[in-house]
Amino acid sequence: MSENSEDTWVEILRVRTRAEAEQFGLVIVAAGIDCHIEGHGESLVIRVNATNEARARDELAAYIQDSITSSTPPLPQRSLQEALVGALLYCCVLLFVYGAASRQMFSLDWLSAGQASAGLIVDGQWWRNFTALSLHVDVAHLTSNLVVGAFFGVLLSRIIGGGLAWLLILLAGGIGNGLSAMVQPSGHTAIGASTAVFGALGLVAVLMSKYQASAWTRGARRWVPIAAGVTLLAFLGIQGERIDVGGHIAGFVAGCLLGAGAIAIGEASVTQYGRAQYFYAALALLLFASFWQIAFALPSEVN
């Protein structure tokens, strides 16, 4: 590249800094086109011979377009207050169902009606995939899912908003239980929010790898969040007593798939509006209540 000026050379780009000028100049030179960089007021001008103008402009346009499509800017981080509100609602729902099931509120057997029985799910009682998420064996079981679930829920809410976060967590948990039921013996039963908790982990891992890792946009480092998610799954989800390993793995896989789907449909554009988050939150609560209504509507002998 030269910084001399000739009458036969035309301007094709004006930039503000020397670094930008040299970057675009290298693109042009790499295409076999000579160019000049000239200072002009507060900006720098890139010129090429008039005979190469069209080809140089095409090369720059292709380079700029490739730069735009290959880098995804991080989503604006949501407020902590919004994330905490969603986590609080999650805790309230689990506490309510635990108390109602323990006392058989409304003279109903919540456990029999809502547990994830593999045989019944395969036979068509799909709503059990979701109702089972809110049932727990004891206080220790409940507490662990409250703490860990709220933590991952807050992380996800900071990325995509509280309403969409908890809707996807609910769906991930239900899908995870459904996948698990398909490979379990018909007599297998499961309860607890842990499938949804690991669904949230999968969602966080995938979405962080896409939107929240601006320093990791190149090479293997962009996969660090997913690798961390798999590590946490192995550490928290497949050890200990009364652990539903199949449900945890299925929940994590479901979360990863939903996260990838959200990226594919461009959730970045639909989560910019606060009102959309209210809609997602209302939909999650409506679906959850509807699943329990269906469970209780069945004849008692079926439950």
Within this chain, do residues 93 and 31 fall inside the same structural domain, yes or no?
A: no
Decide if 50 is inside a domain.
yes
- Which has the higher per-residue pLDDT, 242 or 164? 164
> What predicted TM-score, i.e. pTM, was given to this entire model?
0.71
Asked whether the predicted pLDDT for residue 302 surpasses 50, the reply is no
Cα(155)–Cα(83) distance, integer angstroms: 8
Q: CA angle, corner 235, sides to 234 and 236, nearest 5? A: 100
For 119, the domain range is 80-297
Chain centre to alpha carbon of residue 230: 15
Helix (H, G, I), strand (E, B) or coil at 243: coil
Number of domains in the chain: 2
Asked whether the predicted pLDDT for residue 177 surpasses 80, the reply is yes
Given this model, what pLDDT does residue 236 score? 58
Decide if 293 is inside a domain.
yes
Asked whether the predicted pLDDT for residue 267 surpasses 70, the reply is no
Which are the contacts of 16, defined by CB distance < 8 A and separation ≥ 6?
42, 43, 44
Task: Give me the mean pLDDT over the 22-26 stretch.
Answer: 82
Within this chain, do residues 179 and 286 fall inside the same structural domain, yes or no?
A: yes
Asked whether the predicted pLDDT for residue 256 surpasses 60, the reply is yes
Within this chain, do residues 283 and 152 fall inside the same structural domain, yes or no?
A: yes
CATH number at residue 33: 3.30.70.1530
Given this model, what pLDDT does residue 14 score? 84
Decide if 4 is inside a domain.
no
